Amino acid sequence: MKNLKLKAARAALDLSQQELADKVGVSRQTINAIEKGDYNPTINLCIAICKVLGKTLDELFWEEDS
């Protein structure tokens, strides 16, 4: 499942995938894969992303039941 919340939060701060990747210590490809839903990040990576973007885990990674 695509993570559009992550993509929107990153864009709202005018951060590129590369800039976010540099801040959390992963590759741009990893951020791209998370946004596309092709990679399930570790909890530590999720927390690092949330800290950089100023969001909670729920705001970025919780999937609502449909």
> For the residues of 18-58, what is the DSSP string, one character each?
HHHHHHHTS-HHHHHHHHHTS----HHHHHHHHHHHT--HH
pLDDT reported for residue 65: 67
pLDDT tens readout for residues 23-62? 999 999 999 999 999 999 999 999 999 999 999 999 999 8
pLDDT reported for residue 28: 98
Domain ranges in the chain?
Answer: 4-57
CATH class of 4-57: mainly alpha
Could you tell me the pTM of the whole model? 0.91
How many CB atoms neighbour CB 32 within 10 A?
A: 15
Region 6-13 average pLDDT: 97
Looking at the chain, how many residues does it have? 66
Question: Over 70: is that where the pLDDT of 4 sits?
Answer: yes
